[in-house]
Amino acid sequence: MSTTASDPLATLGSLPGVPDAVDSVRKAVDRVYGHRVMRRRSNEVTAEAALRGSRGSAALAGADWNLEEVRRRTDFSGEDEARTVGAALRLTAEAGQLLSIWRQSPLRVLARLHLVAAGGAAPDDAVGRPRLAGEPVDEPLIEAPLPGADEVAGRLEGLSQLIIAGTAAPALVTAAVVHGELLALRPFGSHNGLVARTAERIVLIGSGLDPKSICPAEVGHAEQGRAAYLAAFGGFTTGTPAGLAAWIAHCGRSVELGVRESTAVCEALQRGAA
């Protein structure tokens, strides 16, 4: 991600195909927010979207559990997959508590997200801070070249300054860039994918696009499949206009699929079936 424009995120918003993706997402979000169920039962839709979003994010991290299993379980200790699902659930619950901090201190939020995700599973001195030179990264599903610690620190600071300065870019563009950059950097020793997708959620909520958090992009990322996710992310890592636009469009489609999921929840609530 490199540009000399004063508002680089806004510049990305004008890439070919991106305005159409932004418009499509906005229309989809507006439709679900206009559903009659949202007038009285939006809290139920939010809760269900959180559960389904957590399941989707965990699936992309290698724990592809059935939704009903996620709903049923109370103990997420033990095996690796259970811990991954537990981390995804904790992150989703935490996201809404960090909205007011994000615009002032994104790095503080990212540190908190990693602390929540790790849940005591990593050495204390490695939790909640970017990795140091020579420290390993446990992120087996992301095979892109791993930036060094100095590059990570510099790019994290650059991303933070972009968020703090504000941007005229659409929420979808900002969310996609935050998500993609965190995946590319893998700044922590573990749980980077889960943290990146939670940061995407925070941007979508905090921007006002999805203030009630009922459009879980994680659902759409999982539904499109890990191969498509990694292919689109590969486009982001190229830094080319086409690759960046393809990643933003992929994230947009993921939001639309999340909208479709929550629309189905609304319909079920309306029928009294959920």
The average confidence (pLDDT) of the chain is: 94
Instruction: Encode pLDDT of 107-153 as tens digits.
Output: 999 999 999 999 865 556 788 899 999 999 998 889 899 999 999 99
Cα distance between residue 211 and residue 204, in whole Å: 8
46-101 confidence digits (pLDDT tens) = 999 999 999 999 999 999 999 999 999 989 988 999 999 999 999 999 999 999 99
Residue 154 has pLDDT above 80, yes or no: yes
pLDDT score recorded for residue 77: 87
DSSP 138: B
> Does residue 272 have a pLDDT over 90?
no
Q: What pLDDT is stored for residue 4 in this prediction?
A: 40
Of 137-146, 166-175, 190-199, the range with the lowest mean pLDDT is 137-146
Helix (H, G, I), strand (E, B) or coil at 190: strand
Flag whether pLDDT at 260 surpasses 60. Answer: yes
pTM: 0.94
The percentage of the chain sitting over the pLDDT mark of 90, rounded to a whole number, equals 89
The CA-atom distances, in angstroms, between 260 and each of 12, 25, 101 are 26, 11, 30
Cα 2 from Cα 259, distance rounded (Å): 31
29-46 pLDDT per residue, tens: 999 999 999 999 999 999
| pLDDT of 273 over the 70 cut | no
Q: Which residues contact 46 (CB under 8 A, 6 or more apart)?
A: 212, 213, 214
The pLDDT of residue 161 is above 90? yes
Q: Write the burial class of residue 145 (CB in 10 Å: 0-12 exposed, 13-18 middle, 19+ buried).
A: exposed
- Are residues 189 and 140 in contact, defined by beta-carbon separation less than 8 angstroms? no
Query: Any idea which of 56-65, 126-135, 172-181, 192-201 has the lowest mean pLDDT?
Result: 126-135
- Helices and strands, number each (H, E), in the chain: 13, 0
Q: From CA 188, how far away is CA 116, in angstroms rounded?
A: 13
pLDDT surpasses 90 at 274: no
Question: Helix, strand or coil for residue 170?
Answer: coil
